[in-house]
A and B are shown apart, each in its own frame.
Chain A
Amino acid sequence: EPEVTQTPSHQVTQMGQEVILRCVPISNHLYFYWYRQILGQKVEFLVSFYNNEISEKSEIFDDQFSVERPDGSNFTLKIRSTKLEDSAMYFCASTPERGLTDTQYFGPGTRLTVL
């Protein structure tokens, strides 16, 4: 069964550094999402992406965040200057074009630790 993959599984960085989290969505999917989950808290929506542009973003997704689909397979989340409070699990998700977009396929996540 096709899966969403994410790299790295764990990223440790210093406060103020830039990080790029990478995702490879399922190959025939065209809607992409990033969510985050701070330890012990709820899964929170960050951003959705379709047709090479952001569809929707939450209040969390401020100017420090950006997303990109640099080629036909990767979908990245960049945090320009990390803060301690950015420490969380970051999940990528995707949905097929003709799929029902509340049935989202999630990746295994990247654990980001900001020191």
Chain B
Amino acid sequence: LAKTTQPISMDSYEGQEVNITCSHNNIATNDYITWYQQFPSQGPRFIIQGYKTKVTNEVASLFIPADRKSSTLSLPRVSLSDTAVYYCLVGERSSGSARQLTFGSGTQLTVLP
């Protein structure tokens, strides 16, 4: 399982774009990169997943360079409600079998007014 490294915490102001970078130097060929968000006293919530280049959905964008040894979650124009812990997970994507997720410590994003 590829080890991931993220900043422990980040602060931002409302309306700014926030970029959270995750390092995964030992990512394997079949591994995908998945980001989850967790609000206090709630369960994690899937945000976005990608394999290479760029993925965008209604919530965020995920940038993955060609070597795939890192990835950056980009949140456009954050609001106070985006204050949460963001987790980067790396692992082989599976379909048709149960798979445990391994969460690290995540990045505590605090959005300030």
Contacts and interface: CB of A to CB of B under 8 A. Distances in A.
Decide whether A and B are members of one complex: yes
Contacts, number: 77
A55 B105 contact: no
A42 B105 CA distance: 6
What is the interface of chain A mostly: helix, strand, loop, or mixed?
Answer: strand
Interface of A: 4, 31, 33, 35, 42-45, 48-50, 55-56, 58, 89, 91, 93, 95, 97-109, 111
Interface stretch (B12-20, B61-69, B90-98): B90-98
A49 B98 CA distance: 7
B5 to A, nearest CB: 14
Given A42-B104, A108-B42, A100 B95 contact: yes
B103 A102 contact: no
Contact of B91 (A55, A95, A99, A102): A102
What is the interface of chain B mostly: helix, strand, loop, or mixed?
Answer: loop
Interface of B: 32, 34, 38, 41-46, 49, 87, 89, 91, 93-106
Contact of B95 (A42, A101, A106): A101
A101 B98 contact: yes
Contact of A48 (B38, B43, B46, B100): B100
Nearest to B44: A106
Contacts of A31: 98
A43 B44 contact: yes
Contacts of B106: 42
A49 to B, nearest CB: 7
A107 B45 CA distance: 9
B99 A48 contact: yes
A91 B43 contact: yes
A48 B49 CA distance: 21
The interface centre, meaning the residue of A55, A102, A111 with most chain B CB atoms within 10 A of its CB, is A102
A56 B100 CA distance: 8
A100 B94 contact: yes
Contact of B94 (A91, A101, A106): A101
A58 B106 CA distance: 21
A101 B43 contact: no
